[in-house]
Structures are given as structure tokens and as C-alpha cells.
A and B are shown apart, each in its own frame.
Chain A
């Protein structure tokens, strides 16, 4: 018990402003009216939000049924019995860079309304992430481009085809001399086929592929190590010891879903005796992955490179005798870490993030090979039909454009004006191109300066196909006919390659004719039904790894401040910038919505004499941008983390007002990180929408945490963390002992704070987007939020630990919110749900005051009043849209419960475990959420709740929450140095 108390008694610190009681904070606290707080235009800023989703009335007609013309096959039922009110589910695929996610889309009378993972697909395994969930809203984005434009003037697609017809003839003769294509990277049989076709007709044409955030380094590293173009496939579930080298594999790296699932699988423990994997994270920025790490080493990117070499040295896979000048902290790590890796040979895994240079990835390959992990926790397959992003290819292209040797440039879903490396000066290069043709979803930065812009289609409204990283081929089938009459990339590329327009459906079928064996129609139907082609995964390639020659070693060592570019967990590289759900989703670590920030450690901020919300000038060799600074404890000292993907201009009402553009200071020499940045405060501040100002847990037993040893020592530590008198009532309590009694359990050991649940809930329950100002006012509406707490010494980044805790309504059996409602608008159902009766609510907000978890959300304004028809199409018809003045909160997806009840009734049976899968549970890639009948001893949730780690948050209030949490366990390596001791010198 003592031990656990120690565990609980970590020194948690408060929000920094408070910690150092800075003058600024005192003012804020003492000033009755912080400027801005009382500005007359509060309602105007709300209007702005209304504007955010406001669309032209012209769209109003679209709300009707738009079932695609072609025959598509439903997942569960044949399409002929479409019963109004009964949702149908279709399998399709979301292409994402060189990967793809197999998904199942719920469609109500022809409107896609909800995305869920496809259990059969290797990249989703039935779950999903925030971006997949939110891509639904992207389909209905009223700001998508709707018109073919020539030099800004409206034209028809026919105008373009006729224009292209003559160009096509001309270039055909010149074998494509002066013709060039800039494409996004893809993994698609059809697109690959069309590319080949294109190159056959235009042999002299140039082809470049570019994405601002890509795995290029990984592929290059593997090529230099093996000489082959191969794709790594990780299976985290097979690894007992995982070493992540700057890889945020649970959130922002490729294949985050399977990574999450596998990692969680190796970490889900029955009791104190179960086996549990151990995660070492070496990183610079604080990532969600760093939060779940058992040991976290926080050093600069440059030192990580040296650290990897040191590991290789110790493992004797890289024997160059060279002083790597490791900091004491890193040095202290080496021996125990390497020992642990060796001890679990064949059951370990070393991964490096996409920011690491190719040398590191080459080394990592060799290390894995040496540790006999290849074929176990990691396997390598050949890449099929994939187009890899290459900065080099873009460099050549721009060079040729400048030299005037490019007369026509086709741009496929790329936006180089916004995100090309600054030193390429793509803008001036483009001016030299006679015909620049842009194909994209938005009339974006690039489209605006191109001579032609063709609106393209969202993946939910076009025919295409894709391969997952392991090569599994799947078809992208439309759920709805194109809303804005765009042309898909497939259609455009085929037009480019053949000179005449062909319909996407036929193009794709043409490709698949070769892929499918046996009767085409039946296997085609099967593919559409399953969402993928079974057995199409690529074979594992066997390679004998080669030793890395020493000259590959890249060991720049420098002083001063290091800058690091990271993709935003919300907008990624900017492609989701106009997505309200993602913009309003607070960062897993920063808890900031609607903006990107320059993250630094407390020490660094102090040394710069700056603090959070200061607007700063960031200069990297002559290029300067402005953005707000934000202190994130646990960030490496003397580094600044710059989030990409914000500060879009003129593409949409949401994107335009969100954040700051970082690309202007990102050059091809330093795509990931480098030294040589100067940071100067402007003396001004910038107000950020931060949903959790308070960092500390105040020594309260909220997230209950212990090391594996302490857990062994006292398996009951979680329950014993609070001492309280016996929980008895003065009255005869209502007995919930009949029928189904719903309950939930959330495992804090596997939760990585990825926020998939939050967006899934938002999509399922029609939760409104309220805009930055309202979030600033502390009125965020998310029904399930991810609380984030830091522990340790803020001054010492190495000592800082982070925990995440998803909190939704706990459905207390003796809910304090119910007794205080004067009109009985929130009462208990006999299956144990704390129900919220919207039409009875008069909005006294007393229930919210009396809720100890503060999970109730109030409609301070009519947040949905001005939602345009087009966005209403995304709404779930099974869930009431709440009006102004009404309280709302998590309902345990009551609509899904009643759906299951109805099904069970129809089949004249009882509801069985698994009939009800709530939205957050369904989305969670870590399967950290269990839900079901707590009276049914065979149910999953019953067994999870029965584990000794289970505890009720604030259970001592005797309110009997129905949601339980499983305490967080960290599996420490006893031989590792204590984090708090190893203060980092910056070498």
C-alpha cells in the first residue's frame, strides 16, 4: 500500500502560469474582465462559426437521395430491400498516401453518415482513427471546389476535354516533350496502370511525386540496406520489447491503427501475473506514444541519430570505432536497453520514425535482422503499384520548369504552392509553365495560380482502387454520386493518358479484369462485398541484409536550438485543414484546438524569456514566420517543435482562420529537423483555444498508476488508492438486477490518447462544431473527452510523464445530476442508463454543476441553427439534433442499444454480448473500451470489470458509476536509470 501511495504521490505540477505565478497569470486571475472576455462581439464570433459551416442555399437541393447509378453491393443486405429508416452498410476503401484503409460505411437512404473499420482489412482490422472518421465530414464540405476554372473563369469539363484533345495530339507527336506530371503518392492498381499507359504514350514526359510528409527516408534506408524496394510490415503484438526511435507509431506515423492494435494486444493484462510488453521511446517532442512509454528518453533529433549508432555499436552490427559523444542520459540508457533487446531476441522490435535519416533506417533494419525479428515482429514485402513521394523528383521538376523546358504541367491532388520546400521557389517556377492544370478537391493555393482547375471527387463518391501496405488490393466504391460533379483522379489520369474521357467504373473494372481469376462478375461482386480481394497480399521478400558502410554515417553535431517539423495529429500535412471535426479536436498532448503552436520545454521558454501564448518570430536562414509559442513539459530542451498543416489561405471558412503556415521556413535541406533557428518574441500574445489549462492531477487518485512490480506487490492498489467509509445509503436503493444493465470499462494501460473515440462519437451523435471562440470560452461539446495529465518536474523534461484518460458520462446508478433537475429532465432508465430527455430540459444547468465528472455539455447557443443542408446530410437520423438551451451528454449510444433490442425482439431472443457496440468502443484501435451487460457473467465487460486493476473514478462519492477504469501499469526495466535523475545536458 505504501508503495502505491508513493506511486500516487508523484509531484504533479499545475499549469505553468500558476507554477511560477507569473505576473501575466496573476493579472489574468485578478482582472475581472480579461480583454476579449467581455467583447461585445462574442455573438459575432459565434456568427463567424455559423459562417464556418454556412453554405450557399444553392446546395439545399442536394439533401435528397443520390444513390450512384452503377451497381454496388451492400455489405450486409442486397440493395433491393432498402427499407427506409434501416441503415445499410457498404465496404469501401479510404486511400491514404501509399497506404489505404478498408472501411465499412453506414448509409441512410443513400447518405453516408458514419465510417467504421472493416474487420477483414489488414490496415484497419475493424477499428479506425480520427482522420478516417472525420473524412466523412470532408465529403459534405460546402467549401469544396465545384467548378472547372480557366484562369479563374468558369468553364465546363467539356471545354477542358476539347482543350486537352489538341494538347494530347501535339504531345503525342513530340513523345511528351515538355509535358510533366506532379502527383500525390498512391498505391493503386488502376492509377499505376494508367501511369504506365501515360509513360508509354509520352516517353519523354516527366513524372514527379511529392507529399510534404512521407516515408521516403524509410524506403531509402531499406534500399541502401537491402538493395530492394521493400515495405516494412510491423506486428507489434509479437514484440515483448519495443524500441521506438522517434516514432509516434500510435498516432502520426503510417499504419497507426494496426500499430495501436498490436501494441495494445501485447499490453492487455488479466492480472499482476500476465505478461506485458515493454516500450522504450527515444524522442524529441512529446508524443502520444511517448505518453504510454515505459521508459522515455528525451533527446534532440541529432542525438537520436547518434544514439541509434551507439545501439548498433553495442550490438556489434555496426563496428566503426567512433566517439558518438552521447549525453550522460543516453549513455546511461545504452547497456540496460541493449541487454533487454538481446534477452528478448526474436521477440523484440526496433522502429524508427519517418523523420530519421535513411542511415538510421538502414541501421534499424540491420539491428532487427541481428535481433532475429525479421519474419516475426517485422516482415518486409515487395511494393506493388505504389508511387512513392520523392523530394528529389520535385526538385528536378522545378529545375526543369525554371529552365522553361516544361510547357504543360498536370498536378494530381497536390498543392505544391502551399507545401513544397521553400527553397524550390515553386511559385516562380510555375509562372514559367504555359499550361498548368490542377486537379484537386479545393480551389486551393495552387489551383488559384494555375491556368486550369478541375474539381475532383471525394473517395466516398468515386470509383477507384487501392492497395494496403501489405499489398492487399481493394476497390473504392462510391456511396453517393458526386455532389459537385467532380472528376476522379482515375478518370482524369485516363483522360490524360488516352485523350478521351472514360467513366471511372469501367476503368477500374478494366484493371480488375486482370487481377481477378475465375468468373469476373461473381468475384467482382465478392470483392465489392468484402471490400478487398482475399489473398492479394504481397509475398514476403527474403533478403540477406548487408553491413552498413561507415561513410553512410551522418553525424552532424551542432549547438544552438534545433527545430523539428511534425505533422499535425488533426490536419496531418494540411489536407484535413477544412474539416471542422478535426480542427476542433484538441491535440492529444497540447490540448489545443483550432491552431498549431511552436512547442518548447519550460527551460527553453525561460531561457528565451518567453511563455505560452507569446507570438514569436521564427527565422530559419533568412525565412521568417510568426506563430504562438506553447510550453509542453517533457519536450527536449533547446528544441522547437513546429506543427505542419495549418495557415491555409483562401480554401475554406474553417481552414483559413486556423493556425499558422510553417511551410515557408521548411527547405529541402531540412525537411525534418536541423539546427540554426532564431526565435524572438514579438511582444504580442496570441489567444489559443486550450481546453485543459490545468496540467496537474493535484495528487488526486484520478488516473491510478503503478509500476508492474508495485502492482505485483499489491494487486489491489487501484481500489485501495482511496480510503473511505463503507458506502451505504440512508434509503432503500433502487435495485438494478433485471434485464440488461449496461456498463463500460476503459483500460488506461492501453489508451494512447489517439482521440479516435472522440471523433467517432461526434460523428455518431451529431455533436456540433462550435468554433474557436466558443472553445476558448470553455464550451467544447465533445461527449467523450481525453483528459491529459503530466507528472514529474517541469524543469526536468526527462522526468515528465504523461497519462491520458477518456472521460464520458459515467452513468452513475445514483446520479447526482438527476435529483437536482427541477423538471425531471434527466432520470434513470431501468437498464441503468442515465438518460437525458432533451424535450423536457429547460436548461437550468444545475445537473452540470452537480456532475463531479463535468461531462455534461450545454447548448449555450443554437449551435445547429445555421448548419447548411449539405452538412446536415452527414447527420445520423437515429440521434436527435439538440436545440439551444438544452443539456446533452453521452448516452452510451442508446440508439445502438435500441437497434440491438429491436433486432433481438424480431429474432425472438435475448440480446447477447457483442450485439451492442458503442461508437467509441468500435473506433478504438487499442480495444481499450469494453461495453456490455454487467449482469451477464459471460460478457466481456463483466470480466474486464472483474479484474483487480478496475476502479471507479470518484467511487468514494457513493454515486456508483457504471463506467470503470483499469489502472495504468508501466512495465519498468529494473536496470534502467530513474528518469528523474537523468537531467539532460545539451551536447
Chain B
């Protein structure tokens, strides 16, 4: 993941509603585009299926992290009390596991949270402070009330003319090619 994504360019087309964006997505995937994306101010239900996206691997990442947390903390409490530094405390057993549950639990949660957060960033290749798509002024609407489809230049089927006409054919307006100046 690099902070700045260098690309010859990207083509964007605007759509007027969630519904039309959804249809556009379906058509794009049917046409066989790979490096394209559908942008919206908020997540749209059914978009994943429309774009035929694979299931997100987040679950595995988080699960693994959580398990590491649990086992790690269990090991730490066990080792410190049994080998690291034996101490008689209130006449209790060296490894009083009941009393260690709270910390083990806490660390499990903590690592899962890290998994969720950093996993998401990694998968989304964030932070990525520069992306050619920001070259378009109209695209700023995407975080307000705009709906866009974007096709990136490294898509195998990338061909400015073809893509532009196709996007218009599926109802895209203000189709524009964003190039890095």
C-alpha cells in the first residue's frame, strides 16, 4: 500500500441515484471490467453482489488476532507466576487461573479490535492520500450526494473511447477522463 497512487488516469461517470448506480454496477461486472469501482456517500445494500465481489476476509484476520491475544496472555500469566517469579500471595496457588481471566479477556478483545481496524486499512490500501481520481472537481460530490462509477487505467479492458461510450450507454453522465497533470 503506498500513500500515493501513480496512474496514467481514471475515467469517472456520475449517476443520479442509488438505484441507477446499482444497475450500472451490474452492467459493469457483466461486461467484464475488473479495475472499476462504484462510489457513494454511504454503503449501498446489494452493491457487493451487483459488483460480484468476493466475501471480505476481515473475519479471519480478526479471529486470528483475538486468538493470539488470548493464548499470549494466558501464556504470560502462566509463565510469570509459575516460572518467572514465584511469589506466595494470600496463600493462593501460583497459577490462580480464575483470577487471570479478566486480563486474558481484555487482551483478547484488544487484539481483535486492532485486527478489525488495521485489517480494514490494509485491505482498503489506506491511508492513500493521493489518488488520480481526486483530480476531478465534480468527484468531490461523492462524499456529499454524488454517485460515481470509476474505471482505472490499469484495467485490462481499458480504452478511453470504449470505456467512455460504454459508461454513457449505461446512463452515466458527465463522463470525464481524469489525468495527472
Report A-B touching, CB under 8 Å: yes
Q: A819 and B90: CB pair below 8 A?
A: yes
B91 interface contact, C-beta 8 A: yes
Segment 805-821 of A: residues with Cβ below 8 Å from B: 813-816, 818-819
B129 interface contact, C-beta 8 A: no
Q: B88 and A734: CB pair below 8 A?
A: yes
Q: A816 and B88: CB pair below 8 A?
A: no
Q: A818 and B89: CB pair below 8 A?
A: yes
A606 interface contact, C-beta 8 A: no
Q: B90 and A732: CB pair below 8 A?
A: no
Given contacts A734-B88, A819-B89, A819-B99, 14 further A-B contacts (CB under 8 A): A731-B92, A733-B91, A734-B91, A814-B90, A814-B91, A818-B90, A819-B92, A827-B87, A827-B88, A827-B89, A828-B87, A828-B89, A828-B91, A829-B88
B96 interface contact, C-beta 8 A: yes
Segment 37-90 of B: residues with Cβ below 8 Å from A: 87-90
B16 interface contact, C-beta 8 A: no
Chain A residue with the shortest CB-CB distance to B96: A731
A830 interface contact, C-beta 8 A: yes
B93 interface contact, C-beta 8 A: yes
Q: B91 and A960: CB pair below 8 A?
A: yes
A679 interface contact, C-beta 8 A: no
A824 interface contact, C-beta 8 A: yes
Chain A residues contacting B93 (CB-CB under 8 Å) are 731-732, 734
Interface bin, chain A: 10 to 19
* In the bound complex, CA of A819 to CA of B90 (Å): 6
* In the bound complex, CA of A893 to CA of B91 (Å): 22
Chain B residues contacting A733 (CB-CB under 8 Å) are 91-92
Segment 765-819 of A: residues with Cβ below 8 Å from B: 813-816, 818-819
* In the bound complex, CA of A517 to CA of B92 (Å): 66
What does DSSP make chain A's interface, helix, strand, loop or mixed? loop
* In the bound complex, CA of A827 to CA of B87 (Å): 7
Minimum CB–CB distance from A183 to chain B (whole Å) comes to 61
The one of A729, A813, A814, A824 that contacts B87, using a Cβ cutoff of 8 Å: A824
Q: B91 and A824: CB pair below 8 A?
A: no
* In the bound complex, CA of A243 to CA of B96 (Å): 59
Q: Offer 15 A-B interface pairs, CB within 8 angstroms, sorted by A.
A: A729-B91, A731-B96, A732-B93, A734-B88, A813-B91, A815-B91, A818-B89, A819-B89, A819-B92, A827-B88, A828-B88, A828-B89, A828-B91, A829-B88, A960-B91
* In the bound complex, CA of A316 to CA of B56 (Å): 112
* In the bound complex, CA of A731 to CA of B92 (Å): 7
Q: B89 and A830: CB pair below 8 A?
A: no
* In the bound complex, CA of A830 to CA of B89 (Å): 11
Residue of B87, B90, B92, B99 most packed against chain A (CB within 10 A) = B90
* In the bound complex, CA of A732 to CA of B91 (Å): 9
Chain A residue with the shortest CB-CB distance to B87: A827
Counting from the closest, the 5 A-B pairs by CB-CB distance are A814-B91, A828-B88, A819-B90, A734-B91, A818-B90
The one of B87, B90, B96, B99 that contacts A815, using a Cβ cutoff of 8 Å: B90
Q: B88 and A830: CB pair below 8 A?
A: yes
Chain B residues contacting A828 (CB-CB under 8 Å) are 87-91
Chain A residues contacting B88 (CB-CB under 8 Å) are 734, 827-830
* In the bound complex, CA of A819 to CA of B81 (Å): 13
Minimum CB–CB distance from B151 to chain A (whole Å) comes to 58
Residue of B88, B91, B96 most packed against chain A (CB within 10 A) = B91
Chain B 88-109, CB within 8 Å of chain A: the 1/0 string?
1111110010010000000000
Residue of B88, B92, B93 most packed against chain A (CB within 10 A) = B88
Minimum CB–CB distance from B156 to chain A (whole Å) comes to 60
Chain A residues contacting B91 (CB-CB under 8 Å) are 729, 733-734, 813-815, 828, 960
Q: B92 and A734: CB pair below 8 A?
A: yes
Minimum CB–CB distance from A959 to chain B (whole Å) comes to 8
Chain A residues contacting B89 (CB-CB under 8 Å) are 818-819, 824, 827-828
* In the bound complex, CA of A734 to CA of B90 (Å): 9
Q: B90 and A816: CB pair below 8 A?
A: yes
Minimum CB–CB distance from B78 to chain A (whole Å) comes to 16
Chain A residues contacting B92 (CB-CB under 8 Å) are 731, 733-734, 814, 819
Chain A residue with the shortest CB-CB distance to B89: A818
* In the bound complex, CA of A816 to CA of B92 (Å): 11
Chain B residues contacting A824 (CB-CB under 8 Å) are 87, 89
* In the bound complex, CA of A110 to CA of B92 (Å): 46
Minimum CB–CB distance from A729 to chain B (whole Å) comes to 8
Minimum CB–CB distance from B91 to chain A (whole Å) comes to 4
Minimum CB–CB distance from B97 to chain A (whole Å) comes to 11
Chain B residues contacting A960 (CB-CB under 8 Å) are 91
* In the bound complex, CA of A722 to CA of B151 (Å): 84
* In the bound complex, CA of A676 to CA of B1 (Å): 99
